[in-house]
Amino acid sequence: MMQEAIVIDATRLIKKYAEQYGLPPKWVMSRFDVGGPKGRTVQTRIESSHARHRVITELADLGYPRDLIARSFDLGRDAVNSIIKKFRQQQNEQRH
């Protein structure tokens, strides 16, 4: 049940931020360091990475367990914790 819910929420958020950044949704799901789809520039890799980190952070804010988020994005729990921490720090720095 929780697995189905995270898929629905993750898909919704990926589409939302892909549209916001003007990127194809599959780019948001592609990791920065992986070759990725054709046509990705360094700038679009940065933007898609930022969108991906935003999705991961918002899923945690929605209350999904970090282990489940990690499995959903093929990451380790430590990576998810690090992404969330760095993303929140960036957001706080932009506000001040």
**Average pLDDT over the chain, rounded to an integer:** 88
- Encode pLDDT of 58-94 as tens digits: 999 999 999 999 999 989 999 999 999 999 998 888 8
In whole angstroms, give the CA distance from residue 48 to residue 39.
Answer: 13
Per DSSP, the three-state class of 39 is coil
pTM, two decimals, is 0.86
Higher pLDDT, residue 15 or 93: 15
Q: Is pLDDT above 60 for 35?
A: no
Q: Please name the residue that has the structure tokens 């001040």.
A: 96
pLDDT at 31 over 60: yes
What pLDDT shows up at residue 36?
A: 57
Q: Is the pLDDT of residue 33 over 70?
A: no
Whether residue 44 has pLDDT greater than 90: no
